[in-house]
């Protein structure tokens, strides 16, 4: 039976601005997304049956139809029933390295890997826009997870413009093991507290431009001015998550005390990250934060920026 083994990287948000409410219930965003080399391994193995089966050891990851990877497979099955009939189902093995419900797009990246893997397994010959369209139907962050790298994301987060690679940066990620934040809760709470009506189709371009402030970070990335990039780090969702989770606020403040280039909460949290220009520095900061907070529930990861999304796992054919 044919199989593909893929690496599904996590992302961090270097910039997340909520422009306003959308009529479809989502939020209009302006984000800068960055892939990092912390990733899950996703293996997709044809199983000759009429089913998809999810295999994952992580206690917080469901192995049923609610798994985003399963939903990705189902979407391809209903969109291309003839291919499904010809090739059949698959076993999907997820080796989880990305923390769950952490604001790092773990589930989204797994779903992206399934779209890419099944597309190859079923010889569908889809174009990149066709694949991106399917991804968009499944979740706002999934189109980015396919192509990865550094990108400006607008709309729901699904409209992408690639940006020049940000190379040579390292990231220390920290998360309380027992803490997870629901993305839906974060956006809903933001809407209740700060909601504003915003219609993208508005002809009032001047009003729209006034509210989109990603210009400076995009320019800094284009100029590869890393010092300027770190000055522009921003996440509107911190306004609702940090007051609700004092531990996360404390973590964010602790990173600020040390010699980091910049620090921010990623996505809907609760992961907090800090940037450095070397792995040694990242190790040093990790030790300093760990010693300061001394909490056994706190977990750390060190990763570097990468310029790829879903990739074939090295050494597997
Ligand atoms: C916050 C971010 C930042 O990158 O990432 P995470 O923290 O989840 O990793 C994303 O916007 C999350 O993207 P994703 O997790 O794909 O979102 P979806 O599945 O489409 O939607 C999950 C929930 O968030 C809300 N949502 C999502 C995107 C958006 N632009 N506006 C929203 O209000 C939706 O209404 C839904 O209740
Ligand atoms: N393949 C998957 N990996 C991780 N979580 C998943 C997956 N499929 C469904 N989930 C569920 O989605 C929720 C959000 O998980 P995740 O994608 O890791 O976080 P985030 O949306 O913060 O990036 C979790 O509570 C988890 O139960």
Measure the CA–CA gap between 127 and 26, rounded to whole angstroms: 27
* 30 assigned binding-site residue: no
SS3 253: helix
ipTM greater than cut 0.85: yes
b/e burial code for range 210-222 (CB count within 10 A of at least 16 → b) = eeeebeebbebbe
Index of the ligand 2 atom closest to the CA of residue 71: 8
Residue nearest to atom 35 of ligand 1 (CA): 26
Q: Which domains occur in the chain, in start order?
A: 1-317 (3.30.230.10)
Q: Quick one: which of 18, 31, 29, 32 has its CA closest to 192? A: 18
* 107 assigned binding-site residue: yes
Residue nearest to atom 9 of ligand 1 (CA): 103
What secondary structure does DSSP assign to 78-137, as a single string?
A: HH-HHHHHHH--EEEEEE--SPTTSSS-HHHHHHHHHHHHHHHHTT----HHHHHHHHHH
Task: Out of 88-97, 168-177, 195-204, 285-294, pick the least confident.
Answer: 195-204
pLDDT in tens, 50-73: 999 999 999 999 999 999 999 999
Residue nearest to atom 33 of ligand 1 (CA): 26
Work out the mean pLDDT of the chain and round it to a whole number: 94
Closest listed ligand to the CA of 235: 1
Index of the ligand 1 atom closest to the CA of residue 108: 16
pLDDT in tens, 266-317: 999 999 999 999 999 999 999 999 999 999 999 999 999 999 999 999 875 5
């Amino acid at each position: 039976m044919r199989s593909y083994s893929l690496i599904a990287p996590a992302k961090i948000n270097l910039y997340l601005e909520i422009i306003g409410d959308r009529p479809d219930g989502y939020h209009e965003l302006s984000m800068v997304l960055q892939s990092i080399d912390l990733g899950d391994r996703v293996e997709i193995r044809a199983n000759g049956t009429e089913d998809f089966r999810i295999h994952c050891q992580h206690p917080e990851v469901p192995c049923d139809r609610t798994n985003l990877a399963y939903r990705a497979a189902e979407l391809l099955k209903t969109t291309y029933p003839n291919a499904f009939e010809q090739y059949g189902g698959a076993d999907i093995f997820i080796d989880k390295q990305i923390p769950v419900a952490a604001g790092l797009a773990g589930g989204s990246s797994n779903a992206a890997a399934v779209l890419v893997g099944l597309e190859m397994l079923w010889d569908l010959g889809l174009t990149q826009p066709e694949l991106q369209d399917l991804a968009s139907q499944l979740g706002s962050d999934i189109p980015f997870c396919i192509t990865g790298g550094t990108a400006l994301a607008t709309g729901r987060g699904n409209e992408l413009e690639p940006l020049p690679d940000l190379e040579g940066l390292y990231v220390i990620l920290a998360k309380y093991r027992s803490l997870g934040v629901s993305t839906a809760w974060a956006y809903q709470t933001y809407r209740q507290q700060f909601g504003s009506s915003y219609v993208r189709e508005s002809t009032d371009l001047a009003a729209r431009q006034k509210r989109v402030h990603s210009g400076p970070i995009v320019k800094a990335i284009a100029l590869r001015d890393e010092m300027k990039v770190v000055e522009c780090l921003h996440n509107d969702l911190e306004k609702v998550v940090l007051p609700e989770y004092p531990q996360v606020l404390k973590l964010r403040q602790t990173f600020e005390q040390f010699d980091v280039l910049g620090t921010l909460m990623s996505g809907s949290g609760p992961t907090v990250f800090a940037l450095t220009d070397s792995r040694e520095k990242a190790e040093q900061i990790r030790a300093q934060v760990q010693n300061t907070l001394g909490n056994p529930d706190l977990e750390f990861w060190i990763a570097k920026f990468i310029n790829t999304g879903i990739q074939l796992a090295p050494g597997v054919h």
